[in-house]
Amino acid sequence: MKFFMILFLLGIPTVAPVMYSLKYFYTSSSGIPNFPEFVVVVLVNEVQIIHYDSNTKRAVPKQEWMNKITEDDPRFWEEETNMLNSNELTSKVNIAIVKQRFKRTEGPHIVQRMSGCEWDDKTYKINGFEQYGYDGEDFLVLNMTTETWIAPRQEAVITTNNLNNNKAQLAYFKFYYTKECTDWLKKFLYYGKCPLMRKDLPSVSLLQKTPSSPLTCHATGFYPDRAQMFWKKDEEELHEDVVRGEILPNHDGSFQMSVDLDLSGLKDEDWGRYSCVFQLAGVQEDVITPLDKRVILTNWREKRSSVDGFPTAAVVGAVVAVLLLLAGCITGLFLLWRRNSHGFRCANSSESSPPPGEDPAVKKETSERQTMLESRGLTETRLSSSDEH
């Protein structure tokens, strides 16, 4: 699978068991005008929390709640910046080596690195991952199960041979991505637990443009984006005559999605057998909307008639517009009320529960932070160090 496609596929929602994730994306580039040569983006549950680039040379928080981390670790941002400064220098060496391997020294080139871990707080399952890509294609992949590096391209064989001969380093990588990485994930979840771990169900509507148009089941206002929606007949999910839309962001940080159903072959007596189903990861109860002609919102009229010369259709259209406006206001107020009454209020830091599996009395030691810095710095230098043997 192409590396750039993997980056997009990471955002594909699913209602499989909820996996909390911590992901680091490093992008090194050369020959690209008006673009930083080195960019780092850190995500928790697909939400960006840290940004660094070679223009600003500073690690900065991308979420307000990330500033709370200095309460326990006052030097966090200073150390994060120093670590990424070092990685930036190493990245220049790495991209030069890879260009030589491919014998493509001219023109624009990009080396990408993705690393991190996923953790399920119900099953305690942990997945660690790390891989490199060059110009949109896989270059190196670390197999955590076998503790070996894999070379998807012939140009990476030299590097994988050197890396696979260092058994101590491989063992430490596995320890880091299955233990230390998840410890950091839990800490970040602790500081941002209100916005990151909340679950909001959507408002669902049935929409249709014209009598011959597909019927759209539209859900909006849900969070997080790990969700799916489908049509079913009786208790069987439909795959034919159905078009699924992608999940899109709303301006308030929530999400929306839709799924269309072709009604052209649907008999009137079968309407009651159809329903639209919305499922949100981590929420057991589905949002089910039966197919009902009476609740479909539309901008068409079946009949145009007049009584004593009065344009009835115009009046009906105006009434429908007012009703739709009122429905939108009521929906907005309902969503606001639900958010304020179902866990949107975060407790004060003194009242907050500790990170999963962590004793609040136990402070993070300086050595723990240093270990993480050393381990992340080590992984960033591997491309250059491998060629020195």
The structural domains of the chain, ordered by start, are 3-196+370-386 (3.30.500.10), 199-300 (2.60.40.10)
- Predicted confidence band of residue 67 (pLDDT cuts 50, 70, 90): very high
pLDDT value, residue 13: 39
**225-248 per-position pLDDT tens digit:** 889 999 999 999 998 889 999 999
Q: Are residues 41 and 51 in contact, defined by beta-carbon separation less than 8 angstroms?
A: yes
The residue count for the chain: 389
Please determine, for residue 16, whether its predicted confidence score (pLDDT) is greater than 70. Answer: no
Q: Are residues 254 and 223 in contact, defined by beta-carbon separation less than 8 angstroms?
A: yes
Collapsed DSSP state (helix, strand, coil) of residue 330: helix
Collapsed DSSP state (helix, strand, coil) of residue 99: helix
Task: Round the average pLDDT of the chain to a whole number and report it.
Answer: 79
Please determine, for residue 17, whether its predicted confidence score (pLDDT) is greater than 80. Answer: no
Mean pLDDT of 36-54: 94
* Range name among 91-95, 321-325, 339-343, 355-359 with the lowest pLDDT average: 339-343
User: Which of these, 191, 182, 181, 194, lies nearest to 70 by C-alpha position?
Assistant: 191
* Range name among 13-27, 86-100, 293-307 with the lowest pLDDT average: 293-307
- Predicted confidence band of residue 114 (pLDDT cuts 50, 70, 90): very high
Dihedral sign, CA of 144, 173, 41, 96? negative
CA 304 → CA 207, 309, 314, 381, distances in Å? 21, 12, 9, 73
Please determine, for residue 355, whether its predicted confidence score (pLDDT) is greater than 80. Answer: no
Backbone dihedral angles phi then psi of residue 315, each to the nearest 5 degrees:
-65, -45
pLDDT value, residue 252: 86
138 Cβ contact partners less than 8 Å away, ≥ 6 residues apart: 1, 2, 3, 131, 132, 152, 153
Enter the tokens of residue 385. Answer: 């160090």
Please determine, for residue 23, whether its predicted confidence score (pLDDT) is greater than 60. Answer: yes
- State how far the Cα of 317 lies from the Cα of 323, in Å rounded to an integer: 10
